[in-house]
Amino acid sequence: MSITVDQAWVYRFHDQLNLTYQQQGSKTEGLLPPGMVHRDVSAAIDHHERLGNVIANDVVAPFGQTKILNPEHSRRAVLLQSSDAAVLVSDEHTLRSMVNPQNGYTQTMAYALGRRADLHVFGAALGSATTASIASGSALYSQGSVALPAGQKIGGATAWDLIRTVQANELLSKASAPSGPNERVMFYSPGQLRDILAITQASSSDFTKNQIHDRGTINGVTWEGFEWIEIADVVAPDISLLQRMLALVSTTRQCIAMHRGAIGLSIGRPIGPPKINERPDLNNSIQIRQVMMMAAVRVWEGGVVEVDALEN
Hey, what amino acid is at 259? H
What is the rounded average pLDDT for all residues in the chain?
91
The amino acid sitting at 296 is A
Q: Where would I find the H helices in the chain?
A: 91-94, 102-126, 162-174, 193-197, 200-203, 212-215
Distance CA 122, CA 112 (A): 15
Average pLDDT over residues 288-300: 94
- CA 37 to CA 113: how far, in whole Å? 17
Q: Judge whether residue 12 has pLDDT over 80.
A: no
Average pLDDT over residues 285-300: 93
pLDDT in tens, 201-227: 999 988 999 999 999 999 999 999 999
> For residues 81 and 304, what is the distance between their CA atoms, to the nearest angstrom?
23
pLDDT at 14 > cutoff 60: yes
- Give me the pLDDT at residue 13, please: 67
Structure confidence at residue 108 as a pLDDT band (50, 70, 90): confident
Q: Contact 129/76 with Cβ under 8 angstroms? A: yes
pLDDT tens-digit map of 167-184:
999 999 999 999 999 999
How does 282-300 read in b/e, with b if 16+ C-beta sit within 10 Å?
A: eeebbebebbbbbbbbbbb
**pLDDT (0 to 100) of residue 234:** 94
pLDDT above 60 (res 95): no
The candidate with the shortest Cα–Cα distance to 123, out of 312, 268, 304, is 304
The 10 Å Cβ neighbour count of residue 75 is 18
Q: Are 48 and 297 in contact (CB under 8 A)?
A: yes
Please tell me the predicted confidence (pLDDT) of residue 93: 65
Domains assigned to the chain: 21-48+74-310 (3.90.1690.10)
Residue 224 identity: E
Rounded to two decimals, what is the model's pTM?
Answer: 0.89
Where does the pLDDT of residue 7 fall: very low under 50, low under 70, confident under 90, or very high at 90 and above? confident
